[in-house]
Amino acid sequence: MTELEQKFVIQVENALKNLGAKINSFESKQGRPSWCISISRGGTTWQLLLRPRGWNIFELPSIYWRTAFPVWGWPHTSAAGDICVSDREGVEYAPDDVAGVLAWLLDEALRMLESNHKLTVHDRNELFADELEGYLQNCGAIAVPMEVMLDPERTLYAEVELVKKGNMNLVSPAVRRLNHGTLKPEKCLQQRLSILDVSIHQLPALNKEWDTTWWDLFLNGLTPDQRTVATLPKSRGLLLRVSNGYGHALVLLYWGLRPSRKRKTYFVQRRDRDYLLRRTGGKSASRHVVVVGCGSIGSRVAEQLTLAGIEKLTLIDSDTFSADNLGRHILGRQAISKLKVNELASFLKDRLPGVKIEPKASDVQNLLGQNFFPTADAIVLATGNSVVERAIARKAFEEGWRGLLVSTSVEAVGLGGHSIAIKPGTPGCLDCLYMDPDTQLMTASMRTGLIAEGQRVTRQLTGCGAFTPYSSIDATRTALLAAEHVLSNIPSYSRWVGDDTLAKAEGILPSQAYDALRAGRIPTNIPPSTFAQPGCPCCGA
């Protein structure tokens, strides 16, 4: 051992002895030291294994409960005895304080073991049911994806891959995916599965594999009706819904057409929309949002709304994706020369399966007579064309559309971005921002713009095809404001202002509004009533 390694061993062993642990053995394998120790707590002596990640505690060491048999039915403890003292996320500690960290770690591990030891087997199993899928994953069980929510009333199928061998198609012993028969996978055989509700108390100790001995033990613990479901002759496997505090753990026991002596255990990796939203702390929102313009801002608004749980999106854009878009769009090279709305719809459905997305590859003006505009819960205008967006807003106010309108745009060279959320029937609209408060006359540009009037801000790299220089970060910041407006459903005008370094380098002069926002003399968030103009022909404030 090196000098540093020897120093670490001394620190750990002194700490263990001071904590009342008896060191039974020490070894080092593959650069990882480990100590087998005995320690008494509450009248029980526990045999533990301490295994740091290396010759330091920059990462929390692992602590194992050493038992003669695989552990089953103990919360926060894997089959190998690994005690999950913490999820190792967000834990802060001083890595030089070896004694202090080990004291905390051992105390937590023993507290957990003692707490579980005092429970009845029934109560311990009830808690363990919440962790069954994670337990099986740690055992080496196979993850099988399911992209739709499980419906116990519908027939369930396992997709099993067909493998070509000579002139014969052979069935692979591995399950590729679960579905309800709505998918038509290529080169796969759909094999029927049974679905059975069981309690954790009916489940014998299970690992990554099971055999006929385990199966017989399992069947003996079922009711007659449950046994009938479990042994249906047409089924090629059994999906167990094990009730727990979160609903159900889903475990697949698969045997296929030609059962082998050792059979695989699968845990279901749920990818349905509701489950994924619950993982984020969110929930499904049964709202319909129309996004007009699927460029760098609009695409990000659509992405954030999808991930936030908006149930239905209509995407409107007539453009194809260009290689020039790669620098700041969420789509990649596979989308080049394809319609933006179609590619974005596919991208978002892949991000969160189950979201309803309707792509419309058309100019927005050709669609204005369609019914989904007046009935939508929100309409995001991210066209980059203020004239078109003001015309849409006028139509919305004239016809009394019920949804929120959100106009979003980004300024050049990182100066800032705007998200203007307005509501038909309430004071404050886009035209109000183009009226001179003193003369009540329309102006050529938005008076709250961040760039002084009369300047050319577009650029060219090829002699034609002008573009506005702004980054993907600028687009993202602006899109987040718009997404937040849609989710809050509250009319508001929000702006962000950036640094003017790039503007100065480009010779672009910021406006008085930029200076005032940057200095904090005016707020970045205001209600539409603040900028509403009494003579406005649109909102009639």
Provide the total of helices (H) and of strands (E) in the chain, helices listed first.
15, 20
In the predicted model, residues of the chain with pLDDT beneath 50 are none
Structure tokens that stand for 179 in this block: 């579905």
Whole-structure pTM value: 0.80
Q: What does the pLDDT read at residue 470? A: 87
Answer for the pair 169, 143: CB distance below 8 angstroms, yes or no.
Answer: no
Cα 350 to chain centroid, rounded: 12
Residue identified by tokens 């108390």 is: 201
Integer Cα distance of 63 and 106 in angstroms: 8
Q: Strand order of the sheet with strand 492-497?
A: 356-360, 310-316, 285-292, 378-381, 404-410, 416-422, 492-497, 525-526
Four-residue CA torsion sign, 331, 333, 336, 338 = negative
Q: Hey, how many other C-beta atoms are within 10 angstroms of the C-beta on 530?
A: 14
Among the residues of 366-471, which ranges form H helices? 372-375, 386-399
For 10, the enclosing helix (H) or strand (E) is helix 3-18
Residues 6+ apart with CB under 8 A from 69: none
Q: State the DSSP string of 384-405.
A: S-HHHHHHHHHHHHHHT--SEE
Nearest partner of 23 among 50, 61, 57, judged by Cα: 50
Q: Which amino acid is at 80?
A: A
Q: What does the pLDDT read at residue 232? A: 95
Integer Cα distance of 246 and 226 in angstroms: 22
| Domains of the chain: residue spans and CATH | 3-118 (3.10.110), 136-271 (no CATH), 281-443+470-501+524-531 (3.40.50.720)
Answer for the pair 393, 430: CB distance below 8 angstroms, yes or no.
Answer: yes
Helix/strand/coil for 189:
strand
Nearest partner of 150 among 255, 53, 262, 274, judged by Cα: 274
Structure tokens that stand for 31 in this block: 């650069």
Answer for the pair 400, 375: CB distance below 8 angstroms, yes or no.
Answer: no
Give the CA distances from residue 501 to residues 454, 504, 507, 523, in Å, rounded to whole numbers and listed in that order: 20, 5, 10, 22
Nearest partner of 356 among 306, 406, 318, judged by Cα: 306
- How big, in percent rounded to 5, are the helix, strand and coil portions of the chain? 35, 30, 40
Residue identified by tokens 């009730």 is: 243
In angstroms, how far apart are the furthest CA atoms of the chain? 90
Give the CA distances from residue 290 to residues 64, 67, 309, in Å, rounded to whole numbers and listed in that order: 53, 59, 14
DSSP 488: H
Integer Cα distance of 323 and 335 in angstroms: 9
Q: What does the pLDDT read at residue 89? A: 55
Integer Cα distance of 359 and 374 in angstroms: 18
